[in-house]
Structure 1
Amino acid sequence: MDAEWNSSSLYVLYQVIGWFAFTVWSVSFYPQVILNFRRKSVVGLNFDFVLLNLTKHTSYLVYNACMFFIPVVQYQYHLKYGFSELIPVALSDVAFSIHAVLLTWITAYQVFIYERGAQKLSKTASIITIGAWLAAVICLIIAWPQGKWLWLVSDFNIIQVVMTLIKYIPQAWMNYQLKSTVGWSIGNILLDLSGGVANFLQMGVQSIDQGSTQNFSGNIGKLLLSLIVIAFDLLFIVQHYILYWRSRVSSADYYQLDVE
């Protein structure tokens, strides 16, 4: 028997919050894309962030799509957490992941066609990315013979959490080195923060309806994603509005900065 919502009102609220998170998180990609387009430059945008972000969103798409669409994965989830528990992935999660992968590819394309200055991709980010996908392949090889599909897609969820934790660090460090946030869109951060808070609230609504916190443990990746996003976005807000507000220079002047 499939799990059901106890309250139709909470179900509606869950959907509203989920699609709100989808909207603000999806829109959050555009300020950076538009800023790059207007400046015809990606100076100030950390390339490691873009690469790590692409790996993060791709792995998250694999997890969300498999959890939402594949019956055997859902069945194994119910075996582990109980058949009364709802699948902890909504259609809005899947829609967001698809959009995020597409927009991150567009941002990566801008890195190749616009002015880059002295910036380049680090070996560390490349090694981390290769390591993440090697780990995914190894997990696939292990899971396939035994049919451990929930374990496999959960590993992709773990990968996206790790990449979320790592991906913000290069940009935060670059801002610190330059003592500036020019070239890094604060609009992206404000929308990203709103999405992180909404994502967390959506999980809370499901827990209230079910009288259980299993959806938090059953989708620990979504929980950690929200918390990590909120923490780093608050850091970027402090950098932009408090620490480095005096260093906001014009784009023309900023092109002369040499990023080591």
Structure 2
Amino acid sequence: MSSWNSIPMEIIYEVLGWISIICWAFAGYPQLIMNFRRKSVVGLSFDYVVLNFTKQSSYLIYNATLFFSTTVQKQYFDKYGYDQMIPVALSDVFFPLHAILLIFVVSVQIVFFERGNQKVSKAAIAIFVSVWFFAAACLYIAIPTHSWLWLISMFNSIQVFMTLIKCSPQAFLNFTRKSTAGFSIDPILLDLTGGVATLVQMSVQSIDQGSWVNFFGNIGKPLLALVSIAFDLIFIYQHFVLYHMKASKVSFECDPESIEPLIKDSVITSNCKGFPQPIDI
């Protein structure tokens, strides 16, 4: 395996990697904390939670296998050359593992907190079942020929596909409610920072090695960053431009211990002193 040509570039690569992972990891906490303070998950798309679990599980399988398995690493070098570097760092393994733990906590919140009439859609359930059926079929195909690199590449493709569609339910929910109340914008800002840091990190490795193999050798990572950035910009536009006035209406004289209103159906019922009547949204 190739080594770094520049120690400073290696340090920059590692720092950027952990910056992106820390941003992506902490992006899961604001929504979790908001749910806990409000004792409600209304406004959070349950489809997003289900689809995100599939995405993070697939990403963990790809990263952990390529990082730890010498057999898969050999197949990678046979395909891309022994003068290349493995395009997965320890931080890439940590992120999806941590994300799955947070998804479990949010799932518990969904069970015990106020959720109104929200539920997981049949479409999300169908996607979930179909994706894991496809993964099982790929495993069945890979076993006879020991095509492990191809197998984990399929999981990498799955995580890209799931990244593409997992945010759509939340964006659509914001659109139908004409509001982002109940959906924390803080994770989006952190996610955007993590996506940009990831692209810069991969560019640093390419510049040091004089090769862009790490981009298409691990195509899922840059695609993950690009798709995440695209949806982040959509959510930012929804929160700060499209529905900004409606978000500001619920910030008047609120109890500091409960700054988020409880949303039921299409009405915001606020515990703020300045609003004796519900506000239609």
User: TM tier, shorter chain?
Assistant: over 0.9
1:254 aligns to what? 263
Residue 132 of structure 1 is matched in structure 2 by 131
Within 2, Cα distance between the matches of 1:257 and 1:110? 21
Take 1:27 and 1:167, find their aligned partners in 2: how far apart are those partners? Answer: 19
For residues 61-76 of structure 1, what are the structure 2 equivalents within 5 Å?
A: 61-76=60-75
SS in 2 for 1:181: coil
The answer on 1:170 being equivalent to 2:181 is no
Q: Deviations over 1:158-201 (max 9, x none)?
A: 00000000000000001011110011110010001111111111
Question: For the aligned residues, what is the CA RMSD?
Answer: 1.3
Task: Find the counterpart in structure 2 of residue 148 from structure 1.
Answer: 147
Aligned to 2:27: 28
TM-score, length basis structure 1: 0.97
Indicate the structure whose relative CO is greater, using CA pairs within 8 Å and at least 6 residues apart: 1
Instruction: Please give the alpha-carbon distance, in whole angstroms, between the structure 2 residues aligned to 1:13 and 1:92.
Output: 14
Q: Is the 8 A contact 2:55 2:162 kept in 1?
A: yes
Q: Is the 8 A contact 2:182 2:261 kept in 1?
A: no
For 2:117, the equivalent position in structure 1 comes to: 118
Give the partner amino acid of 1:113. Answer: F
* Unmatched tracts of structure 1, length 5 or more: none
Structure label with greater radius of gyration? 2
Q: Could you tell me which amino acid in structure 2 is paired with residue 118 of structure 1?
A: N
TM superposition outliers: structure 1 runs of 4+ over 2 Å: 249-258
Q: Name the CA distance, whole Å, in 1 between partners of 2:109 and 2:192.
A: 24
**Structure 2, gaps ≥5 residues long:** 251-259, 268-281
Q: Per the alignment, in what secondary structure is the counterpart of residue 254 of structure 1?
A: strand
Taking a change above 3 Å as real, the CA distance of residues 226 and 156 of structure 1, as seen in their structure-2 partners, is: same
Q: Counterparts in 2 of 1:174-189, with a 5 A limit?
A: 174-189=173-188
1:80 maps onto 2:79 in alignment: yes
Q: Which amino acid aligns with 2:263?
A: Y
Q: Report what 2:202 is aligned to.
A: 203
Quote the residue 2:54 is aligned against.
Answer: 55
SS in 1 for 2:150: helix
1:256 CA displacement: 5.0
Please list the CA deviations of residues 197-246 of structure 1 after superposition, one character each: whole Å capped at 9, or x if unmatched.
11111111110011011000000000100000000000000000000011
Give the structure with the higher percent helix.
1
**1:253 Cα shift?**
5.6
Q: Number of matched residues?
A: 258
Q: In structure 2, how many angstroms separate the alpha carbons of the residues matched to 1:100 and 1:69?
A: 19
> Structure 1 vs Structure 2: percent identity of aligned residues?
54
Judged with a 3 Å threshold, the aligned counterparts in structure 2 of structure 1 residues 185 and 253 are, in CA distance, closer, same or farther, namely closer
CA distance in 2, matches of 1:154, 1:137: 14
SS at match of 2:117: coil
- 2:253 match: none
Alpha-carbon spacing, 1:253–1:153, altered in 2? closer, same or farther (3 Å): closer
Residue 190 (str. 1) matches residue 189 (str. 2): yes
Q: Deviations over 1:69-89 (max 9, x none)?
A: 000110000011110110000
- Shift of residue 120, structure 1, vs aligned partner: 0.8
Q: C-alpha offsets along residues 12-46 of structure 1, whole Å, 9 cap, x if unaligned? A: 00000001111111110000000000000000000
Give the letter for the 1:137 counterpart: A
- TM-superposed CA distance for 1:106, in Å, is 1.1
What amino acid does structure 2 have at the position aligned with 1:238?
A: Y
Aligned partner of residue 193 in structure 1, secondary structure = helix
Distance in 2, matches of 1:227 and 1:252, equals 33
Mapped to 2, the partners of 1:125 and 1:56 lie a distance apart of 13
- Specify whether residues 143 and 10 from structure 1 end up closer, same or farther in structure 2 by C-alpha distance, changes over 3 A only: same
Rounded Cα–Cα distance in structure 2 between residues aligned with 1:107 and 1:256 = 20
Deviation string for 1:133-153 (max 9, x for gaps)? 001100000001100000001
| SS in structure 1 of the partner of residue 171 of structure 2 | helix
Hey, what does 1:237 align to over in structure 2? 236
Measure, in 1, the Cα distance between the counterparts of 2:167 and 2:262. Answer: 25
Partners of 2:40 and 2:262 within 8 A in 1: no
